[in-house]
Amino acid sequence: MNTADALELSSLAPALKVLEPARRWLLAFSGGLDSTVLLHLLNRYCLSCPQPPELVAVHVNHGLQAQAQAWELHCRQVCAGLEVPLVVRRVEVACAGKGVEAAARDARYHALAELLEPGDAVFFAHHQDDQLETILLRLLRGAGLRGLQGMPSRRPFGSQVLHRPLLAFPRHALAEYARRHRLAWVEDPSNTDISHDRNFLRHEIVPLLEQRWPAVRETATRSARQLAASANVLQQLLPAPVAVTSIFGDPGMALPDLLDMPLDMRVLVLRDWLAGQHLPMPAQAPMLEFLRQLAAGGSPVLDCGGYRLQRFGDGVYRLPVMEPGPWNHSLDPAVRLAPGDVLSLPGVGELSLQAAGSGPGILLEPGEHLTLGWRRGGERCRPLGRNGSQRLKKLLQEAAVPPWWRDRVPLLYLAGELVAVADLWFCVSSRVVPGGDEEVWRPDWIRNTYTAAD
């Protein structure tokens, strides 16, 4: 083995020294070679520290393999031998249109993110061979500048930062370290299944590349670093999009400045905006068509898998993919809202009644309640302070309520009469009064707005 490839604790010490102030070091621990080596290294480092962070191994049991329980037991035994605390999370992998590998990864990442607390640092054991495979996969899938950078050595993860201290070392260096320290690990039989793209590259393609170009790992890693440097410079030169929000708080970007740019720059700015929110990128062809329709004055919708982009007015907004909800139905007398109740409405938010105080509100007699309904078309309301009733559709349009919210605005009825449009308007009624009475109530709606933190 090339001595430059040798993996020693001293090789990682400078990077780990910077992370000593962290409260905890959380390691994603599968029990395989890579994470076993990193666990051993991190534990050795912590034992050498006067005031080390708490090292915690996290094993996520996906339950996808017959050996899953045996692997969990192995992880418990390894951690017990090192006297390192182990947290086990068992998850259900829901593919939902994704491959099993991607769905398992998402479930694993989600389980880890839920454990994070302020001051934590997260460690993954990806190495140089993983990096080469990632670059090749992305190249074959038509990735651009950002994708061909490969995996960064550090990046935001949940509320904290993920670190990959082994990216500079090839797998054979980890294997040699494990043999030298007589470490035991588990082998996942699915890693030899070449029907998976990554395994095909690992077992069929990379060995051929290495025969012809022995330094393929190092050169690919160097290219990735150069691309990352170029991307960072480009990001600094790109104009920053102007942030906008809808009246309900949906995050978006201003459209006029985007449309003033050349098409190639529009693509880069839009991608950079999405990447800044840690969102998966839409495919190139649908994105180009979306931008074309925007430039033509249309109001297109771009489905990006777990979210969508939609134009409204002079903005492009990032929205969730909504499941069919109760707002698709008519007035349901069974859904009642009384003082003290809190209705949790998927895709809508939380709805309750609060004392109106000195402001206007709905007068409810003891034991009375409101009934929840949804827009069906034809509803009318005369807002307090206005002359004449108007169609609800027109009121919502005038108030710049985005179209994706209009069918999700709760309508509140009393004895069949529309008395309030969520917390937007009270409708003139004998039961809507100026306030000041302890039995006068106003709707309080906490909207379920999709934000960058979702």
What does the domain layout of the chain look like in residue ranges?
9-235, 243-320, 330-447
**Which overall architecture, per CATH, does domain 243-320 show?**
Up-down Bundle (1.20)
435 in a labelled binding site: no
Crossing angle (nearest 10°) for helices 171-180 and 128-140: 160
147-183 pLDDT, tens digit each: 899 999 999 888 899 999 999 999 999 999 999 999 9
C-alpha distances (whole Å) from 16 to each of 40, 50, 115 are 14, 14, 21
Q: Which amino acid is it at 294? A: L
Q: According to the model, what pLDDT value does residue 324 have? A: 57
31 in a labelled binding site: yes
Burial class (CB in 10 A: 0-12, 13-18, 19+), 326: middle
pTM for this predicted structure: 0.74
Would you state the structure tokens that stand for residue 52, as one six-digit string? 């080390």
Q: What is the CATH number of domain 9-235?
A: 3.40.50.620
C-alpha distances (whole Å) from 196 to each of 100, 113, 193, 268, 402 are 10, 26, 6, 31, 43
Looking at per-residue pLDDT, the higher value among 156 and 85 belongs to: 85
With contact defined as beta carbons under 8 Å apart, do 324 and 408 qualify?
Answer: no
- Distance between CA atoms of residues 143 and 149, nearest Å: 10
33 in a labelled binding site: yes
310-349 pLDDT, tens digit each: 999 999 999 987 655 555 544 455 689 999 999 988 888 8
Crossing angle (nearest 10°) for helices 33-48 and 68-82: 20
Confidence of residue 299 (pLDDT cuts 50, 70, 90): very high
Most confident of 65-74, 161-170, 183-192: 161-170
H or E, element range at 220: helix 216-237
Q: According to the model, what pLDDT value does residue 35 have? A: 97
Interval 233-241 mean pLDDT: 88
Q: Annotate 409-446 with DSSP letters as a single string.
A: S-EEEETTEEEEETTTEEBP-TTEE-S-STTEEEEEEE
